[in-house]
Structure 1
Amino acid sequence: MLAVRSGRKMLVTTGAILAVGALVTGCSSDGGEGSAQPTNATVDGNAETGENVVIGFSGPAADHGWLGAINSAAISEGDAYDDVELRVAEGTNDANLQISQVEQFINDGVDAIVLLPTDGTALTSVATKAMEAGIPVVNVDREFSSPAAARTTILGDNYGMGQSAGQYICERLGDQPDAVVAEIAGIDSLPLTTDRSEGFADALETCGLDVDNRVAADFTVAGGEEAASQLLSAAPEIDAIWNHDDDQGHGVLAAIDSADRDEFFMVGGAGSANAMELIKSGESVLEATVLYPSTQAADGVRLARLIAQNKAMSDLVEVEVPKRIVLNAPVVTEENVDEYLPTAFSS
């Protein structure tokens, strides 16, 4: 099912890296190098109503707080523009259904497609088909297996998340070589989990620490509670815990409360509003969280509009929208939490 949403007057929205800037894009409608005349890209120029464009958006089912925020932010971004008609496919975790949704967008002749694939490899072929049909594809979060499948890719930084968490723990415990560090990962079979764990281990190594106890959960509250209970039983003393995901963090914190443990501090992941409120209170073992922006699809919609209208990112001298953008993974603490709360998602 497709829902059609028409844009309204532009609002200032959440796009961590898409602020403003200088020149133009020489993209043709197929997302490649073409003969389209560049259009000056400025803050005001990009914001002004331009040529009407139809953008198709398809993402996974919103069965997780972060994914729900991804979808709602994308829809809000489409609504922010008078010149955008955003056609939203029903969220799904079925790769075959998502392929059919993209094929429908191709048949409809949309001007651009924003796609957060349930499986990047499985969606590569149909995304390539769209590109070959002259429809630029903006790939969000989960990469395709071929660079030819997307005009632009926008990603969170999973390895960087691990690095940021490890660096924060090093700052807190780097002068304690015997400190016990634990890790509660997400789903171990996912590449993103591998990247997060590798970044974490590499950062800890710089200050002589390592992961002493590690368990994996499944990004759910129940899974987080079960994994944390297992961890706490196996490790009678812990100095710091990094939990990869704030949604499963609800369960992790429940297990910590049940075990009546508070000798350690915890760092979360993703950046939910719930986690940030706990951090702000200063009354929880949760001391920080590492941001994994839930604005990625919204940024994808904004990028798709710029590409379809032959515009550029106005803070860049480059005359086209970049091929690949990786968002930052900052650490949110009590000191800077108010800066990040407005764009945080509810879990």
Structure 2
Amino acid sequence: MTHSSRRSLLFGGAALGAGAVLAACTSNESNNPTTAQTKGAEASNPNVAAGKAVTIGFSAPAADHGWIAAITNNAKAQAAAYSDVTFKQVEAGKDAAAQRAALDTLIAEKPDVIVLLPHDGKELNAFGLKAMEAGIPVVNLDRAFPDALAYRLQIKGDNYGMGVAAGHYIGKAMKAKNVASPVIGEIAGMDELELTQERSKGFADALKTYGFKVANRRAARFTADTGQKEAQNLLQALPKLDALWNHDDDQGIGVLAAITAANRSEFIMVGGAGSKKAIEDIAADKSVLKATVTYSPSMASSAISLGRLIAQGRGMADLVELQVPKEIILSSETITKENAGTYLKLGF
């Protein structure tokens, strides 16, 4: 596998993690993943060579948000890139119990590997244990199982790293502007979710290294409506603002609407997740939005590729080890006007 091939396979970037109820990002109008979200069958990649025919079972919640839609579409497209893969999708239902029931039926069909993004990692942990005990490797995608025995591979984004990336971007920007005591706002996602808490902790920890802290924090619900409402409240509470981090680009649509309505432009804003719309806005550079930190649904493509290798008893071409690793955490990358053109193909 070439360096560029491996980088694309492992490329990740930034919306919902362990225990999330809702996905969190804006979809583009097309339901088709970009070519960069999946890896085709390049002849230069030795892992692409056809191996043992395998059946990959797959389950993810219904596409009520763009990020979840991209997860499923990417998984399907990646499986279709391999002549030796049969893709069998089972419905996740409306909650963890319904998903578990559907997956229990899948176990009876004995697929070679199961890739799933659970409604809730903790509630689906028992299924992971059951499948592994039945000899079916499980690839746990994004929302973590708490029990390491419940999965063969866990692949997820870095929620803490999102906060760190956002904090460093804002910290460096404030230092560059010689703002000694910046007023910094934060609009989080759903506060009851561990992923939101991780993002906020990473943000606070990074800001602390510059001697900065958050002046006002509001929690929205990963929707444009709640983003707009909480942004209105935050802007009213802070008549002067230097920087704002909004955790999610979907709710960011509402945040930006509130900013426009309030006729505020004295600050910079950083988004979260890396939606196509946000990247286009950053490239255009006509609003307060200057950057976003990624959490890419390309992780679903990687999960299918790695699940295939696990089922075939193969390792990753660039690694000395003979097996696929146990856990992969994808880095959160920072998209700015300078690199937006490069990252646009990964927008969703």
CA contact (8 A) 1:14 1:295 kept: no
Deviates more, 1:94-103 or 1:191-200: 94-103
Partner of 1:37: none
Partner of 1:9: none
Partner of 2:340: 337
1:27-86 CA-to-partner distances (Å, cap 9, x unmatched) read xxxxxxxxxxxxxxx953311111110001111121111111111111111111111111
CA contact (8 A) 1:14 1:298 kept: no
- CA separation in 1, counterparts of 2:296 and 2:324? 20
1:130-162 CA-to-partner distances (Å, cap 9, x unmatched) read 001010000011111200000000010000000
Which of residues 234, 237, 243 is equivalent to 1:240? 243
Which runs of 5 or more residues in structure 2 are unaligned? 13-42
Question: Shift of residue 177 of structure 1?
Answer: 2.4
Do structure 1's residue 180 and structure 2's residue 183 form an aligned pair?
yes
Question: Shift of residue 90 of structure 1?
Answer: 2.3
- Look up the SS of the partner of 1:283 in the other structure: coil
CA contact (8 A) 1:62 1:91 kept: no
Partner of 1:323: 326
Deviates more, 1:259-268 or 1:167-176: 167-176
Partner of 1:314: 317
- CA separation in 2, counterparts of 1:15 and 1:67? 20
Question: Shift of residue 302 of structure 1?
Answer: 0.8
CA contact (8 A) 2:11 2:299 kept: no
> What aligned pairs does 1:203-242 form with structure 2 within 5 A after superposition?
203-242=206-245
Which runs of 5 or more residues in structure 1 are unaligned? 1-11, 20-41
CA contact (8 A) 1:180 1:240 kept: yes
Partner of 2:80: 79
Partner of 1:35: none
- CA separation in 2, counterparts of 1:290 and 1:172? 15
Same amino acid, percent of matched pairs: 50
- CA separation in 2, counterparts of 1:44 and 1:326? 22
Partner of 1:127: 128
- CA separation in 1, counterparts of 2:179 and 2:11? 40
- CA separation in 1, counterparts of 2:120 and 2:261? 37
- CA separation in 2, counterparts of 1:101 and 1:229? 42
Do structure 1's residue 284 and structure 2's residue 287 form an aligned pair?
yes
Structure 1 residue runs of 4+, over 3 Å off?
Answer: 12-16
- CA separation in 1, counterparts of 2:92 and 2:6? 22
- CA separation in 2, counterparts of 1:14 and 1:127? 28
Amino acid of the residue matched to residue 211 of structure 1? V
Aligned length: 312
- CA separation in 2, counterparts of 1:240 and 1:130? 47
TM-score of the superposition, structure 2-length normalised? Answer: 0.87
> What aligned pairs does 1:68-147 form with structure 2 within 5 A after superposition?
68-147=69-148
CA contact (8 A) 1:15 1:296 kept: no
Question: Shift of residue 296 of structure 1?
Answer: 1.4
Do structure 1's residue 252 and structure 2's residue 252 form an aligned pair?
no
CA contact (8 A) 1:13 1:77 kept: no
1:249-272 CA-to-partner distances (Å, cap 9, x unmatched) read 111111111111111110000000
> What aligned pairs does 1:32-71 form with structure 2 within 5 A after superposition?
44-71=45-72
Do structure 1's residue 156 and structure 2's residue 157 form an aligned pair?
yes
- CA separation in 2, counterparts of 1:149 and 1:91? 18
Classify 1:339/1:274 alpha carbon distance in 2 versus 1 (closer, same or farther; 3 Å): same
Classify 1:218/1:18 alpha carbon distance in 2 versus 1 (closer, same or farther; 3 Å): closer
TM-score of the superposition, structure 1-length normalised? Answer: 0.87
Classify 1:285/1:160 alpha carbon distance in 2 versus 1 (closer, same or farther; 3 Å): same
